Amino acid sequence: MFILLYSALGSNSSERVESVLTYKGLEWDRIEVTNEALKTTYREQINPFGFVPALVHGGRTLVESMAIIEYLDECFPDKPVLGVSPSARAQIRSVCSHVGSTIHSPQNRTVLNFLRPELSETDKKDLRARWIGDQLETLEPMLWRDGHFCCGTSFSAADVFVATIYRKYLQHGGGKLDRFDGHRTHLAEQGLIPDYLR
């Protein structure tokens, strides 16, 4: 069945879904959504939230990266990314939830423009890097307890969420964090993340 992903270059949330689609080896097409479309036609016709990603499959449109990843793992259970035991699933979802809600949301451009419109773009970028960096340090003790993967001994959605938010941190001028950089290098060497996350 045909899979179509509405995405946007540089979207952290879209990168999560693209990574999972690629890892699972699924065939899919990508439609780039412009900033203008996010405010108009895309919002009106595809996703009333006005954010990417949105995934179309089986005649249904799904939104929100975690919901899409859960859907993909249920529909395409080969190469699971959400764990195989209840405890593994809970641990992976905890990391994903922390990254998606606690780290990602407050530094989102839309949120910052609303809450801190007086800040220059340079100041916003600096604030975003500091926020993500502080939160990654808080998250670090929960990661890599069993080896090179964030949770357990195999690749999971937690690895995707951590790698994509770390990339966002670097884009905003954050300095390299050794463990997070080593994690991204390990995933790249194993061919588990797309080239643009390396």
The rounded percent of the chain whose pLDDT value lies above 90 is 75
The structure tokens listed for 145 are 């307890």
Place of tokens 């899409």: 68
User: What's the pTM?
Assistant: 0.93
Cα separation, 172 vs 170, in Å, equals 5
Pinpoint the residues of the chain covered by CATH 1.20.1050.10. 86-197
Given this model, what pLDDT does residue 38 score? 80
Given this model, what pLDDT does residue 44 score? 87
Neighbours of 147 (CB within 10 A): 10
Cα separation, 146 vs 137, in Å, equals 18
Q: How confident is the model at residue 194 (pLDDT cuts 50, 70, 90)?
A: confident
Q: φ and ψ at 173, to 5 degrees?
A: 95, 10
**CATH superfamily of the 3-75 domain:** Glutaredoxin (3.40.30.10)
pLDDT digits (tens, 9 = 90+) for 33-90: 988 888 888 888 999 988 899 999 999 999 999 999 999 999 999 999 999 999 999 9
Q: Which has more pLDDT, 115 or 60? A: 60
Cα separation, 9 vs 168, in Å, equals 12
Domain 86-197 has CATH 1.10.150.20: no
Given this model, what pLDDT does residue 64 score? 95
144 SS3 class: coil
The structure tokens listed for 43 are 């919002």
Least reliable range by pLDDT among 38-47, 90-99, 137-146, 147-156: 38-47
Sequence-separated (6 or more) residues with CB below 8 Å from residue 11 = 52, 53
Q: Is residue 167's pLDDT more than 80?
A: yes
Given this model, what pLDDT does residue 106 score? 83
Given this model, what pLDDT does residue 43 score? 86
pLDDT digits (tens, 9 = 90+) for 171-185: 999 999 999 999 999
DSSP tag of 1: -
Pinpoint the residues of the chain covered by CATH 3.40.30.10. 3-75
Cα separation, 177 vs 24, in Å, equals 28
Radius of gyration (C-alpha) of the chain in whole angstroms: 17
Q: Is residue 197's pLDDT more than 90?
A: no
Q: Is residue 108's pLDDT more than 90?
A: no
Residue (of 9, 12, 16, 49) closest to 33 by Cα position = 9
194 SS3 class: coil
* Rounded-to-5 percentages of helix, strand, coil across the chain: 60, 10, 35
Residue (of 128, 101, 99, 100) closest to 113 by Cα position = 128
